[in-house]
Amino acid sequence: MDFANDQEFLKKIRKHFVALGGIYVELDHQGGWKNEEKPFCYSGFVIEICGRWCFMTAGHVFKDIDNLISEGRIKLLKCGLADYFSAEAKVKEPIPFVYEDAHRITVDQSGIDFGLIPLRDYYCFNLKANGVMPLPIAPWKSNCPPPFDSYVLLGLPDEELDPHERMGARGPQVGYLMNLILVGVHALECPPADRVASLIPRFAGVLLDGRQLDSVKGMSGGPILGISKVEGTWHCSCVAVQGSWDEGRRLIYGTPVSIIVDRITELLMSEEKSAE
């Protein structure tokens, strides 16, 4: 992976990554706190659909959070969008984010796994100010992944998260020291035949990490990127959003982002025509 030696390119990749994190507490049957506050963190990134910036992650991320809240098992105390992974980020604090009020699009079934939140102007303004940029999206024109020189997965594996406490402006704070990881992936032409059949094409690839990671848990929701050199310069595009993995075979699976974007764009254009 020659691009791994290009520090400017690696810095550029980090501009697209945004994590959803915060603090929660587990609740007992009476709604009381069972224990102390705990941090959470999920991988994600920003894309653009019809001029609107959107936060994207895995659908099961939203599904798991929503189920825990609706069942009265947890309470979110604080939530934010961590947008400071770029070297150009000026603010090293998450943007406060009201998760419960956000319009969430969640799909986690039949091999399709994505979650999407259209971001209000306030969040877009803050993300832009901190150097975040939407990821370019690679179009899927067949059942096989779009062709690139290399493929990688970008995310925050749980095993690399270091629980951390500090004294903040408002008193003691708990959270994580986060290590953003880029892992090489060998893309397969199609998923193994014994996998769940999907209604749309699906990305499948073998990790090329030399088994340095025990698990990619925590990287769900991170972008699977295609990387190629064009006229002497490295470029990346989002091929899929990572959703699940087969630990025994070291295989990761992802939902093609371009198919999601195309379908949402069609729906939006149809609604506009109906309103005319």
DSSP secondary structure letters along the chain:
-GGGG-HHHHHHHHTTB-EEEEEEEEB-TTS-B-S--EEEEE--EEEEETTEEEEEE-HHHHHHHHHHHHTTSEEEEEEEEE---STT-S--SPEE--GGGS--EEEEETTEEEEEEEPPHHHHHHHHHTT--PPPBPPP-SSSPPP-SEEEEEE--GGG-EEEEEEETTEEEEEEE---EEEEEEE-SS--TTSPP-SS--EEEEE-STT--S--TT-TTPEEEEEEEETTEEEEEEEEEEEEEETTTTEEEEEEHHHHHHHHHHHHHHHHHHH-
Do residues 44 and 85 make contact, with C-beta atoms less than 8 angstroms apart? no
Question: 68-100, pLDDT tens digit by residue?
Answer: 999 999 999 999 999 999 888 998 889 999 999
User: CA 127, 132, 136 angle in degrees (round to 5)?
Assistant: 125
Question: Average pLDDT, stretch 228-241?
Answer: 94
Question: Average pLDDT, stretch 149-173?
Answer: 73
Percent over 70 (pLDDT), the chain:
91
C-alpha dist (Å) from residue 271 to 103, 111, 275: 18, 27, 6
Question: Average pLDDT, stretch 219-230?
Answer: 96
Question: 19-68, pLDDT tens digit by residue?
Answer: 999 999 999 988 889 888 888 999 999 999 999 999 999 999 999 999 99
The tokens for 9 are 């390119």
Do residues 243 and 223 make contact, with C-beta atoms less than 8 angstroms apart? no
Backbone angles phi, psi at 266, to 5 degrees: -60, -45
Show the domains of the chain with their CATH numbers.
Answer: 2-275 (2.40.10)
